[in-house]
A and B are shown apart, each in its own frame.
Chain A
Amino acid sequence: MANLISRAFGGLNEVRRGLATVFKHTFREPITKNYPDEMPDLAPHFRGRLALTVNPETGDHLCISCKQCERVCPDKCIEITSHKSPETNKLELIDFKIDHGLCMFCGLCTEVCPTLCIINTNDFEMADYSRESLIYDLKKLTLSQDESAFYFDRKEMPLPKPKPAKPAPAAAAGAAAKPADAKPADAKPADAKPADADAKTVEVKKPEIKDDAKPEVKTEEAKADAKPEPKAETKPEAKTDEPKADEPKA
């Protein structure tokens, strides 16, 4: 009997403690946000809607139609149409389609992109009324110059991101210089130096130098393995002639 009473009181006391703990939460600030009114603060590397950047300085489209992203996409949601222009003998981008209804936002395409053209933006509000409207074409995908500058700023600034320099340079430099060097991409002596250099100068005018670095890297890769698209490497040279010229000096 005494046991029963003490158990009953113990139980009631536990219930009381539970109720008190819940009640204490009255005085805690809510953790939810009024979402459409105030946007969430997303991390720079958040993998949202895919988009194509342009050179923030010149406004040139960065895509070189190398089709790396199209090939790596696990969902096959990217379709690139390009043709070889007869006069320059280079690939020209005609259309770039991404079916966001198929995309799973894994970000692999952004990892393999040699020119940092395709990126994951921080936009995630893509709801629409039909599946067809989720297929974004070149016009819808390409960011404006300002937006590109914003994303370059946001994504490239931090030094310890392996993202921009990794995939293409890794393949390229690995082929060219040091075969057995199992280091991450940015540790490559060949391009790590320039990469680091522009990372240092990034504070001053990062997007320009960044973009300059990319085509340079691209050409190097192209020289090295010369296998996937022999036309691909010619494009960046044509596009960014003068940066390529001063890059070797640097």
Chain B
Amino acid sequence: MTDEKPSEAEKPEEKKAEAAKPEAAKPADAAKPADAAKPAAPAAAAPKPAAKAPEPVIPATAGKFEQFLKEHGIPSERLPLSLTIETIAVSGDVLQSALRLLRNSSEVQLDLLLTVSGVESNDTFDSVYHLWSYSNLDELVIKVLVKKSDVPEGDLPAVPSIANFWSAANWHERETYDLMGIRYANHPYMRRILNPWDWEGYPLRRDYKQLVDSLNDKNPHSMR
């Protein structure tokens, strides 16, 4: 709060000149969640003393679905991210078979695909699948992590598409492609869905620069 906010707010008229600043500041803030929390802690001690609690610690025992996938020969890895929902990471190669299995097997029946989201973290692009069930209470989060170092220069990270056998994923994958720039291989209709088809860049990426155009430009009388 104290480190970047006032500078940003006090000189709004300079914001255009420093257009890159928020973007620059954000990765720094986001890069190391733990670090970001620590320098903030002394300053923020006043408003929020609860900051003393560190990262959530997750028991590293294998979850139900991880076990299930292992039994069927699909390697997965539990991620220590959420306290309540089991989060596992699978590799892109086995994603389709894993989801097919989870969806169709009579044991788990994770047949409600809530969303497919794209997340950019420090060194990976994640494609996140939230799976629920129409018939029971199970929840599962599957992540496909694509290392940034693996993505060729000028190319998009690729994840196999599941839209061919699961229609719910169709638009979500298009949206993730549109906003986060993750290419879903073999998607039936890989086009931008929310932005215009000729939009440049992927708005939710950290390195995205907002276009300045005549319409959204600063009004000389406005104080934005």
Residues of A within 8 A of B (CB): 67, 70-71, 75-79, 97, 99, 101-102, 131-132, 135, 171, 174-175, 179-180, 182, 224-225, 227-228
Contacts and interface: CB of A to CB of B under 8 A. Distances in A.
Interface of B: 2, 5-6, 9-10, 12, 43, 45-47, 49-50, 219, 221-224
A104 to B, nearest CB: 12
A95 B72 CA distance: 70
A76 B223 contact: yes
Contact of A228 (B6, B223, B224): B6
A227 B9 contact: no
Contact of A102 (B9, B43, B50, B224): B224
Given A227-B2, A227-B43, A228-B6, A76 B49 contact: no
13 contacts: A67-B9, A70-B9, A71-B5, A97-B223, A102-B222, A135-B221, A135-B223, A171-B46, A175-B46, A179-B45, A180-B49, A227-B2, A228-B2
Contacts of A77: 223-224
A79 B223 contact: yes
B221 A131 contact: yes
A193 B82 CA distance: 41
Q: Which 4 A-B pairs have the closest CB atoms?
A: A175-B46, A179-B49, A79-B223, A225-B46
Given A102-B224, A131-B219, A135-B221, A71 B9 contact: yes
A175 B47 contact: yes
Nearest to A130: B221
A228 B9 CA distance: 12
A239 B156 CA distance: 60
Contacts of A224: 46
Residue in B5, B10, B45, B224 with the greatest tally of chain A CB atoms within 10 Å: B224
Nearest to B50: A180
B104 to A, nearest CB: 45
A107 B37 CA distance: 28
Given A227-B2, A228-B6, A75 B224 contact: yes
Contacts of B5: 71
Contacts of B6: 71, 228
Given A67-B10, A71-B6, A79-B12, A171 B47 contact: yes
A69 to B, nearest CB: 10
A8 B222 CA distance: 65
A104 B222 CA distance: 14
Scoring B5, B9, B10, B50 by chain A CB atoms within 10 A of each residue's CB, the highest score goes to B9
Nearest to A172: B46
